[in-house]
Amino acid sequence: MTRTILVTGGCGFIGANFVRLIRESRPDWRVINVDKLTYAGNLNNLVGINEGERYRFVREDICDTQAMRRLFSEEPIDTVAHFAAESHVDRSIAGPDAFIQTNIFGTFSLLEAAKNAWLDKPGPGNAPCFLHVSTDEVYGSLGTSGYFTETTAYSPRSPYSASKASSDHLVSAYFHTYGLPARITNCSNNYGPYQFPEKLIPLIFNNALHGKPLPVYGDGQNVRDWLYVEDHCRAILLVIEQGENGERYNIGGHNEKTNVEVVTTVCDLLDVKRGLLPGRRRRRELITFVRDRLGHDRRYAIDPTKIRERLGWRPQLDFAGGIEATIDWYLANTAWVNKVADGSYQKYYAEMYGRAIA
Ligand code: NAD
Ligand code: DAU
């Protein structure tokens, strides 16, 4: 094996897409997937990937520093791709505790384990690399113009983005203070296969498919910069292989859309692919404006010049191509959506591991 990569949160949305990318494109890498299997972690996201020389699943909490240290001593880990996090802004507003714990303390715990394995003892054969996956939300909210660059000042405004900003600062501190070989990526909104249906696009897909109301917060004019998840994963792989320690890379594809535009696009695609609702109603008629999210950031937009010019990364899909591929995937995988929505995916864990998820 040329690399042994520890992927944290590999049973979540982006982590699972990343594990699949490694499996398809790096046949000589061993993947250790550590995931606590919170409500957002789903072993069904990795069906077809079996335990063996190239893959090991470990159910642990990244906040358990002893367990993380043990993993580094059991496996010759030379690379970390750190995805594990509490990731949903609405949940962070309703209950910030888990965000502070996992996103801040969990990242600290991993940094300590990596420092102990790579710097406090003779290092692994390969030059090690700690890639911290972060978000554009750390930069705050934009007005109608301008873009986030790598030098934009941090200005997080939700408990989620504040916890991610704290973790970014810790990663940066471990690079500058101890020389831990670390890099950070800050990406815009992802969409695509295996996204938990509490996030805008899969939630709207599921409700629109079944003719239910489509909740749009506030006036629906908030702007997000959408990136197909596989393009994000390819960017992370590139930063691991060709990026520089101590650097951060913004990732985004210039696909800014208002929430109303996104929701109507999903509705119209479903009307074409599944036919109109009874009474020849268009699905966009289901849009229901609801109370706004507290502290709702108005606009995010990424300037991806650095990763394009230094590493040659470009997204392969624009929003039109990505959203159609996404809707096709969800239509072909309604069983996956239903299992996630009713919690029965957790039974899969019980069948595989002989005990229930705690
Ligand atoms: P997700 O919520 O779908 O998945 C998170 C995964 O982490 C789950 O499998 C969960 O079980 C696991 N996890 C949570 N707490 C854990 C803990 N204490 N120990 C071990 N595992 C734990 O998240 P996602 O949308 O795939 O996001 C992944 C990462 O990418 C996050 O760090 C997020 O901040 C970042 N990010 C997400 C987006 C996006 O649009 N979704 C955009 C930019 C950056
Ligand atoms: O920008 C990157 C971030 O994108 C990631 O760091 C987060 O982990 C990820 O969850 C996402 O955050 P958002 O808050 O932008 O995503 P969400 O899908 O929750 O919402 C997208 C937009 O849609 C946002 O403006 C809120 C709005 N929205 C969301 C939901 C769930 C609605 O109008 N109605 C809804 O029901």
Cβ distance 136 to 302 under 8 Å?
yes
Among 21, 33, 37, 38, which is best to mutate for testing ligand 1, by the most ligand atoms less than 8 A from CB? Answer: 38
Per-domain residue ranges of the chain: 4-191+227-252+299-315+342-353
Hey, CA dihedral for 241, 106, 56, 21, is it positive or negative?
negative
Choice from 46, 58, 83 to test ligand 1 binding pocket (greatest atom count within 8 A of CB):
83
Q: What is the C-alpha to C-alpha distance for residues 15 and 33, in angstroms, rounded to an integer?
A: 9
State how far the Cα of 38 lies from the Cα of 60, in Å rounded to an integer: 10
Show the CA angle centred on residue 126, arms to residues 124 and 132, nearest 5°.
Answer: 90
Cβ–ligand 1 distance for 304 under 6 Å, the answer no
Report d(CA 10, CA 184) in Å as an integer. Answer: 18
Looking at domain 4-191+227-252+299-315+342-353, its CATH class is alpha beta
Task: Return the pLDDT at 347.
Answer: 54
Question: Rounded to the nearest whole angstrom, what is the distance from the C-alpha of residue 177 to the centroid of ligand 2?
Answer: 34
| First-last CA distance in the chain | 34
Q: What is the pLDDT along the chain (358 residues), one digit of tens a residue?
A: 799 999 999 999 999 999 999 999 999 999 999 999 999 999 999 999 999 999 999 999 999 999 999 999 999 999 999 999 999 999 999 999 999 999 999 999 999 999 999 998 766 666 899 999 999 999 999 999 999 999 999 999 999 999 999 999 999 999 999 999 999 999 999 999 999 999 999 999 999 999 999 999 999 999 999 999 999 999 999 999 999 999 999 999 999 999 999 999 999 999 999 999 999 999 999 999 999 999 999 999 999 999 999 999 999 999 999 999 999 999 999 889 888 876 655 555 455 545 554 4
Please give the C-alpha separations between residue 73 and each of 46, 60, 63, 135, 186, in angstroms, as whole numbers.
Answer: 25, 15, 17, 30, 30
Report CA Rg, the chain.
Answer: 20
Cα distances (Å, whole numbers) of residue 154 to 25, 34, 164: 34, 29, 11
pLDDT on residue 351: 54
Ligand sitting nearest the alpha carbon of 297: 2
What is the whole-number distance in angstroms between the Cα of residue 76 and the centre of ligand 2?
A: 37
| DSSP secondary structure string for all residues of 109-153 | HHHHHHHHHHTSSPPPSSPPEEEEEEEGGGG----SS--B-TTSP
89 lines ligand 1 (CB under 6 A): no
Residues annotated catalytic, as ranges: 136-137, 160
User: Which among 189, 205, 267, 323 is the best mutation to test ligand 2's pocket, defined by most ligand atoms within 8 Å of the CB?
Assistant: 189
pLDDT of residue 358: 42
Q: Which ligand is nearest to the CA of 229?
A: 1
Atom 16 of ligand 2: nearest residue by CA position: 199
> What is the distance between the alpha carbons of residues 198 and 98, in angstroms, rounded to a whole number?
17
Ligand 2 binding site (Cβ under 6 Å of any ligand atom): 87-89, 135-137, 188-189, 199-200, 203, 215-217, 222, 224, 259, 293, 300
- Please tell me the distance between residue 63's alpha carbon and the centre of ligand 2 in angstroms: 26
Q: Give the DSSP H/E element, type plus range, for residue 178.
A: helix 159-178
Q: What ligand has the least distance to the C-alpha of 12?
A: 1
pLDDT of residue 344: 57
Q: How many CB atoms lie within 10 A of CB 115?
A: 18
**Claim: this prediction has a pTM higher than 0.85:** yes
Which pLDDT does position 89 carry in this prediction? 97
Task: Please return the burial class of 56, using the count of CB atoms within 10 Å of its CB with bins 0-12, 13-18 and 19+.
Answer: middle
Residue 357 is predicted with a pLDDT of 44
Provide the total of helices (H) and of strands (E) in the chain, helices listed first.
13, 12
Cβ(243) to ligand 1 under 6 A? Answer: no
To the nearest 5 percent, what fractions of the chain are helix, strand and coil?
A: 45, 20, 35
The confidence score (pLDDT) of residue 251 equals 98
Q: 244: helix, coil or strand?
A: coil
Residue 318 C-beta-side C-alpha neighbours within 13 Å: 5
Distance set, CA 252 to CA 229, 314, 315 (Å): 11, 9, 8
